Chains A and B, each alone.
Chain A
């Protein structure tokens, strides 16, 4: 049906990504506004068991493409499977989470379907048959609103939408995996560290800049991050300290690094160059700790403390540990 919405539900090793629950929630709301229904699709091997979880978030149908050949992620093979699910569902709006997998898969699916894709959207709504999706451009220095008519794909920024449950029928529709030569496939997943929280999924980001004076002082930030308890906080860094080799590229927040939007962002010793602000200014609450009262970071910070990180952070760490511990 023209108003129907199909949501790609991402799973890794049998567990569904939180961002996919957000996408299911958006899909359910947009479908209701368009007078259609929301369905989900699951691609992989042994994924049929997850259909019930998609139903908890409102999926009327769950299209399942379950095949041993799809056990590991292959963008090209999975895109063909997703295309078949999309065609069988008859949906005209496809939603994905803008995760590493979603942003790799969605452009392929959109190309197969010959349609437009709005990537990394932070708001989506329907007017009649049209879909309006707004996304940050220039890493958040501006927002662009796109309108799609007919078949349209959208990827949704993680943490930008709330997830809520509302039971759906969850009728399972099995879809046969299309025959295809696999062109590229994941052979191995290398975890950064067993306890590390992915930067873009973290509830709290603790980021450091040149004000910390050297890589040897990162223990301070590690302690602050761990004070929030396990699985809550991730470490971030400014471009200056990444370029200086103090921290790995994967931690860089900003226009040429990761764009993050956690509920709480703590910037320590970061002055707030425009390209850094672009990567974190959609965070819900920003705390800045910096010696220089004139630093631009204070212009975006909900709460600022002017002071020496080496004096402020240990006290903050202790206080948070007292609450969380």
Chain B
């Protein structure tokens, strides 16, 4: 067996679309990392004439918005916001989902019943309305946005992990661990969880994509943190200018589209590598 990283890459690159996705994501990450270098000042500062079309002024290659703020700077800084919110929200969702799913699948019975009803509650509540209500109640801060998105995204993880645990808990290695006198927590964390993790990684990458969309919708409605440059927020402010300067909406929307697309393609690619048995489904 070769080096696991090269082996992983060899299998991943068989999916051409997934490689394209990874390339797009690399560009977005590069944008986010280089934003403080190329655009060192606050992107929400007024710097030029208002409603300047893209490719008309060399100082503002992508033009300016209704208040004369540089769109290129806002896009570059927005990339970081988008990625961090997406990643952390997915981490929150995965943690909640793994915790609840593992307990429900491992213990079964009454614990399972109660936890699954709890999961159904969050599946039933209209997700974005719940997010709006939560952020409105707690206040429009970035932490609250992240926690809110995590809270509406974990149910699929819980169901997946529960199903995995239900099949794994009867396997011999688990019985052996139990016979050795391992505690339940140790069996769950060190024995079953590592075997259940591959499909969870795939789902987590798809949740990042979903989280990016939720954040953009929230920012578009003007209910996210107003002091942070974000793609959705830029679209929300640009929608009033749709008759004259529709590029203000078009550009950040394209950025969201490409990022979410890239994350979905990467999810597909990871699925091919990590769950090879399901490849042809």
Query: Are A and B genuine complex partners?
Result: no
Residues on B close to A: CB < 8 A?
A: none
